[in-house]
Structure 1
């Protein structure tokens, strides 16, 4: 077993994403990878107390030990609650169905 692992740390913004590839000591945690990536300095809005972390889209705790070739992802807070957006779309759909003037009759 090697004493080094290769990992990536990814942080995505709406307009771009940053992926940092690095080599760490075996036994390194997700938090250690984020700290070593330099992304905390580059993006001061990242707060490890608030932002969640994941490895290949699966949520993990900051103390999760990484394996070789893992990709740590730093997640941003959601702008809108997905459930509330669906409720609003459903309500709009009901209003359109009640109005009914826009749809053409079926042939």
Structure 2
């Protein structure tokens, strides 16, 4: 039986030395992660062979490079990324504020990441 989940009790991890992730749902078929990126941080450009992802901004502004085109997403906006599409999430230093967003993946993206 499912139980409510809250970030304060979710599995937390640090990535990119300064960014945070909280696993809100973590099954083979579905992953929901809340992430926090401070200004000036970015992830490595990569792609997923199997996982389809949806990035949804909760707070701040996320620059998401997708196949060479940068999409700037604000709170309440999202974008879908198909398997095989090269992408990179960034929070430019000029933003001056952290960004919080959800990354929803199906199937889960863990173990399905290739540098681009």
Larger proportion of helix? 1
Larger proportion of strand? 2
More relative contact order, 1 or 2 (CA 8 Å, 6+ apart): 2
The TM-score, its normalising length taken from structure 2, stands at 0.28
